[in-house]
Amino acid sequence: MASQQESPYTVHAESKLLKFKTRQTKKPAPWPRDSLLVRIGCSVRISSESHHLTPTGPGRSAELERQQYEYAPDSDEEVVIVVFHAEDLRSDAACRAAFRRKLRRLPQLAGFRGAEVALWDAFVPPGVVGEILSAAASALVAAGGEEEDDLRSSVGYCCDVWMHVEAATVYSEAKALLLSCTDDDVVGGGEEQCPICMEELTEDGGGVTALPGCSHAFHRACILEWLHTAPTCPCCRGELMQYLPHQYCQCDEA
């Protein structure tokens, strides 16, 4: 089983629809008949938080270091105008996917372009999909209506979307440590137990991994939970901080 690409960062996002308005507008000639013009205004607040582990000592647990910053783009950066084909917006899923793709073009969310679909899904504000779908339906009716050709080709629909996104980036040293573990060929016959939960070490449910240095093996989920409390091996108490991937150590020097 190929392990998915991991990152020591977790991003939580919440999105709100502040205002939605549809209006009829004159449509410039070259646009497709069923086009739907959408102006997206988006304010963003990004905060960051880091979870650093203290070097060991019996009974000591992870220290939480929190730094927050806000990002507010210039007002003339805020609005992006995009054109949808109403024909492409026939279902909830299609509309959501299309809106997600448009959000990727917002300069204020550029820092998240490499993130997975689930995060971009969280950026889509609740309610916006239904609103766009009904605007698209109107655009389709106008495009396919009985009116004179020159009239229907000049009617366009424009949606104004105002939204706000809160995104929190959480860096976890424990997750970074997990990146230095070995996943391949950890378990031989499946007779070994995970020293944390005492269940059999099988690939089911998140897989197994071996710590750098001592090679003691655990379920990934079990050892991650442990690493949130201490950067040592629970079996032999071997120090693990030395194996922290160096590209993730820069936060300490800042």
Binding status of residue 202 toward Zn ion by CB under 5 A: no
Binding status of residue 233 toward Zn ion by CB under 5 A: yes
Query: Given the rule CB under 5 A, which of 156-164, 168-176, 182-190, 216-224 is the region that contacts Zn ion?
Result: 216-224
- 18: tokens are 């502040």
Residues contacting 66, CB < 8 A, separation 6+:
49, 50
Query: Given the rule CB under 5 A, which of 23-31, 47-55, 122-130, 226-234 is the region that contacts Zn ion?
Result: 226-234
Residue among 18, 81, 197, 249 that touches Zn ion (CB under 5 A): 197
Binding status of residue 238 toward Zn ion by CB under 5 A: yes
**In the complex, what is the shortest distance from the CB of residue 207 to Zn ion, in angstroms, rounded to a whole number?**
11
Binding status of residue 214 toward Zn ion by CB under 5 A: yes
Site for Zn ion in 26-55 (CB under 5 A): none
Comparing CB distances to Zn ion, the nearer of 133 and 196 is 196
Query: Given the rule CB under 5 A, which of 37-45, 47-55, 168-176, 212-220 is the region that contacts Zn ion?
Result: 212-220
Binding status of residue 230 toward Zn ion by CB under 5 A: no
Residues contacting 209, CB < 8 A, separation 6+:
178, 181, 182, 183, 186, 217, 218, 219, 220, 223
Amino acid (1-letter code) at residue 160: D
Comparing CB distances to Zn ion, the nearer of 38 and 178 is 178
Binding status of residue 196 toward Zn ion by CB under 5 A: yes
Binding status of residue 190 toward Zn ion by CB under 5 A: no
The b-or-e profile of 51-61 (16+ CB within 10 A means b, else e) is bbbeeeeeeee
Picking from 216, 227, 180, the residue whose alpha carbon sits closest to that of residue 53 is 227
Comparing CB distances to Zn ion, the nearer of 44 and 217 is 217
The residues that bridge with 36 in the sheet, in sequence order, are 84, 157
Q: Is 212 helix (H, G, I), strand (E, B) or coil?
A: coil
**In the complex, what is the shortest distance from the CB of residue 242 to Zn ion, in angstroms, rounded to a whole number?**
13
Binding status of residue 81 toward Zn ion by CB under 5 A: no
**In the complex, what is the shortest distance from the CB of residue 55 to Zn ion, in angstroms, rounded to a whole number?**
17
Binding status of residue 193 toward Zn ion by CB under 5 A: no
Residues contacting 111, CB < 8 A, separation 6+:
46
User: How many Å separate Cα 131 from the centre of its chain?
Assistant: 23
d(CA 63, CA 67): 13
Picking from 7, 80, 97, the residue whose alpha carbon sits closest to that of residue 44 is 80
**CB 201, CB 80: distance < 8 Å:** no
Residues that bind Zn ion (CB under 5 A): 194, 196-197, 214, 216, 219, 222, 233, 235-236, 238
